Amino acid sequence: MPVEIWQISWFTILVASLATLIMMPFGIAVAWLLARWTFTGKTALETFISLPLVLPPVATGLILLRLLARRGPVGRLLDNAGIEFLFTWKAVVLAMAVLGFPLLVRTARAGFEQVNQRYELVAQTLGASRLRVFFTVSLPLASRAVVAGILLAFSRSLGEFGATVMVAGSIPGGTRTLASGIYNYVEIGQDTNANSLLIISIILAFGAVWLSNHIARSANH
């Protein structure tokens, strides 16, 4: 198997892992917030978080491109700070994180909602702060669902294509991922390389989703 195939595979795993690590603290916090709190604008926040699930990935990518372009609100700040972002590995990570975030939030939220609030109330009456209750009661009891959500977000990141191509392109040795690599190889007629990436993609995705489903199923027993 060509070295380029392994490079693309390891790069995809690396950036997907990094995107998942970035998602984790924010996704878990938002999931707990939505599961345990009622506030004005909650429905709007839920809808906003779920948008990447229903929008075409290229549309999400275009939104990110507009924000991160040099004349965009975020891109202008990055440019002034001398940070190059678009069409780099950092843009790949961002696109993957944005597309995987809703899956993490929805799955983890379901886990927090299944936690009996009596345990949390007992801990609070014993003098534990909300933060301590979260880390010692809520999170451990919802851990299986949280891990399942993390794995789903990771698997979604592995297969991301549309948004990634919009903000990072498919630069050989720079931003090319499994998904964009398959597309590029098919486009230029290198079916052997495309098939190799396809097989690797299926193995990785199957493993992550199977493990997520297994953990989620065991959490319900």
Chain segment 161-216, per-residue pLDDT in tens? 999 999 999 999 999 999 999 999 999 999 999 999 999 999 999 999 898 888 87
Confirm if 68 and 84 have CB atoms less than 8 A apart.
Answer: no
Gap between the Cα atoms of 9 and 17, Å rounded: 12
pTM for this prediction: 0.93
Hey, CA dihedral for 99, 101, 102, 108, is it positive or negative?
Answer: positive
Domains, in order of start, for the chain: 3-219 (1.10.3720.10)
pLDDT at 217: 74
| Model confidence pLDDT, tens digit, residues 140-155 | 999 999 999 999 999 9
Above pLDDT 90, what percent of the chain? 84
Q: H/E/C letters for each residue in 94-156?
A: HHHHHHHHHHHHHHHHHHHHCCCHHHHHHHHHCCCCHHHHHHHHHHHHCHHHHHHHHHHHHHH
Q: How far is CA 221 from CA 25, 114, 145, 188, 218, in A?
A: 26, 12, 12, 49, 5
